[in-house]
Amino acid sequence: MKVFKFGGASVKDAGGVKNVLQVLETEGTAEKLVVISAMGKMTNALEVVVNDYLQKGDFNDALQPVKEFHREIMLGLFENREHPAFVAVRQLFEALENFLRHNRSTNYDFVYDQVVIYGELLSTTIVSSYLSSCGIKNDLLDARNCIRTDNTYRDAQVQWEETQAQITSLVRRENLSITQGFIGADPNNFSTTLGREGSDYTAGIFAYCLNAESVTIWKDVPGVLNADPRVFENAQLLEHISYEEAIELAFYGASVIHPKTLQPLQRKEIPLYVKSFLNPLNAGTAVKKGQPILPKIPCFIVKKNQVLISLSSLDFSFILEKNISEIFSLFHKYQIKVDLIQNSAISFSVCIDNKFNNLEKLLSHLKATFRVNYNTGVSLYTIRHFDEKAVAGLEKDKKVLLKQITRETVQLVAIP
């Protein structure tokens, strides 16, 4: 059995959905499980719904564009406006509105997970219905019945034994199955999400539990490149890389593969392919056992909208292990992801990702113990397998606030 994953860019409009059909017809539909993300930028649009709901007490204005977006796609796919797909989509919107009208929780993370999951539920309902209308039989699976997690909303942790049992019992291996990326359910059957861009991870979870032959992630790029072509010029395709290198690139922020995706695949040595849905016959990138550990060219990664925090003791005493332990306990408490660390005798600097918007709470807590300086809106640049030319080119025209060099990696925190 093979697992495919199509991201939001691949189903952003009716033409994209039709292209998914063409890819499946080229690759074959038997013994396939297809993971699909929300269409286009719908997760972003649903985040606006959450924010309006919690801040203004109203969601209708933000929800209306979401409805219109999906209706436009459906009108491009189904000639008959009485097609059952329209009923199914309407029922999903009714369920979402019912939650928003009756919910009493003001916990942002909880509300977020109950709302944004509808992006995936809508996309898979539409794609499954379209495939059926074209004569492609498929099973539409609700990933929440398959992937069981704890209740860490927005960053749920997979409960592997229960998930394995659910997937094994619900997936009919001989068929084509369609399911959602990014989502699961907790022990009380509330919806959870696996972290932003977590659909790749979903594909890895299903592949691991099904002992899949391979996973293919279909993207709008030729494969894994040595740099994001939207940021860096002359990006080159990495045709073959090892699991280890792919994990390193994902950890540092390469956006092509979700960081957690490789771990379950590596454990069972399941190959991962990253290919273009625009050119499905091209080889793309292969990530598997036995590939070269180190690419022959530098790899560039950038993470924008980061925060650089520099701490020093109020009395100029040393920052020792006890202090660092206290600092990291605060990072854990406020769900802060640390991307870079640098310390000296009396100072400690970190570059962090504030994806849960807890920065102000963290800073308030830190200021009680430390002298705190910080910069928001900085970028973290990473070069794997650097050379002098690569570093010089990256530093050009930037104000570098922090620089760290190890054997294989250079990292810069800079203001562009």
At 50 the three-state DSSP class reads helix
Annotated binding site for ATP: 5-8, 230
In this structure, is residue 291 part of a structural domain? Answer: no
Q: What is the pLDDT of residue 38?
A: 97
Q: What is the pLDDT of residue 257?
A: 82
How many whole angstroms from its chain centre is CA 404?
Answer: 26
Q: What is the pLDDT of residue 212?
A: 98
Domain stops at, among 190, 212, 234: 212
Strand duo 183-185 + 191-193: pairing: antiparallel
Check: CB of residue 191 under 8 Å from CB of residue 185.
yes
Tokens encoding 92: 């999903």
In this structure, is residue 128 part of a structural domain? Answer: yes
Domain stops at, among 148, 181, 212: 212
Q: What is the pLDDT of residue 258?
A: 80
Q: What is the pLDDT of residue 293?
A: 58
In this structure, is residue 261 part of a structural domain? Answer: no
Identify whether residues 205 and 316 lie together within a single domain.
no
Half-sphere exposure of 117 (CA within 13 A, CB side): 26
Identify whether residues 204 and 312 lie together within a single domain.
no
* Alpha-carbon distances of 170 from 34, 110, 200, 204, 211, rounded to whole Å: 14, 27, 20, 17, 15
Q: What is the pLDDT of residue 294?
A: 61
Annotated binding site: 5-8, 43, 120, 230
Identify whether residues 82 and 205 lie together within a single domain.
yes
Annotated binding site for substrate: 43, 120
CATH code, domain with 124: 3.40.1160.10
In this structure, is residue 217 part of a structural domain? Answer: no
In this structure, is residue 392 part of a structural domain? Answer: yes
Q: What is the pLDDT of residue 92?
A: 98
Q: What is the pLDDT of residue 289?
A: 86
Q: What is the pLDDT of residue 322?
A: 83
CATH code, domain with 328: 3.30.2130.10
243: exposed, middle or buried (Cβ count in 10 Å: 0-12, 13-18, 19+): buried
Identify whether residues 54 and 186 lie together within a single domain.
yes
In this structure, is residue 281 part of a structural domain? Answer: no
Residues 6 or more apart whose CB falls under 8 angstroms from that of 328 comprise 338
Torsion from C-alpha of 115, 276, 72, 24, nearest 10 degrees: -90
pLDDT along the chain (416 residues), means of 10: 96 97 95 98 97 95 98 96 95 98 96 98 98 97 98 96 98 97 97 91 98 96 90 90 88 81 94 94 91 76 96 82 90 94 89 93 94 96 94 94 94 93
Residue 88 to residue 67: CA distance in whole angstroms = 13
Q: What is the pLDDT of residue 196?
A: 79
Question: Which string of DSSP letters, residue by residue, matches 34-51?
Answer: EEE--STTHHHHHHHHHH
Residue 340 to residue 410: CA distance in whole angstroms = 11
Tokens encoding 246: 């792919």
Q: What is the pLDDT of residue 416?
A: 78
- Structure confidence by residue, pLDDT tens digits, 302-345: 999 999 999 998 887 778 788 889 999 999 999 999 999 998 88
Identify whether residues 185 and 305 lie together within a single domain.
no
Identify whether residues 29 and 158 lie together within a single domain.
yes
At 360 the three-state DSSP class reads helix
Please report which helix (H) or strand (E) contains residue 412, including its range: strand 409-415
Into how many domains does the chain fold? 2
Tokens encoding 272: 């991962």
User: Which domain, by its residues, includes 202?
Assistant: 2-212
- Share of the chain residues as helix, strand and coil, in percent rounded to the nearest 5: 40, 25, 35
Check: CB of residue 32 under 8 Å from CB of residue 4.
yes
How is residue 385 annotated by DSSP? Answer: S
Query: At residue 164, what are phi and psi to the nearest 5 degrees?
Result: -60, -45
Domain stops at, among 153, 177, 212: 212
In this structure, is residue 232 part of a structural domain? Answer: no
Identify whether residues 312 and 198 lie together within a single domain.
no
Residue with tokens 């709302």: 115
In this structure, is residue 115 part of a structural domain? Answer: yes
- Could you tell me the end-to-end alpha-carbon distance of the chain, in angstroms, rounded to an integer? 46
Identify whether residues 193 and 307 lie together within a single domain.
no
Identify whether residues 193 and 308 lie together within a single domain.
no
Residue 304 to residue 380: CA distance in whole angstroms = 6
Residue whose C-alpha is closest to residue 279's, from 321, 223, 353: 223
Identify whether residues 25 and 146 lie together within a single domain.
yes
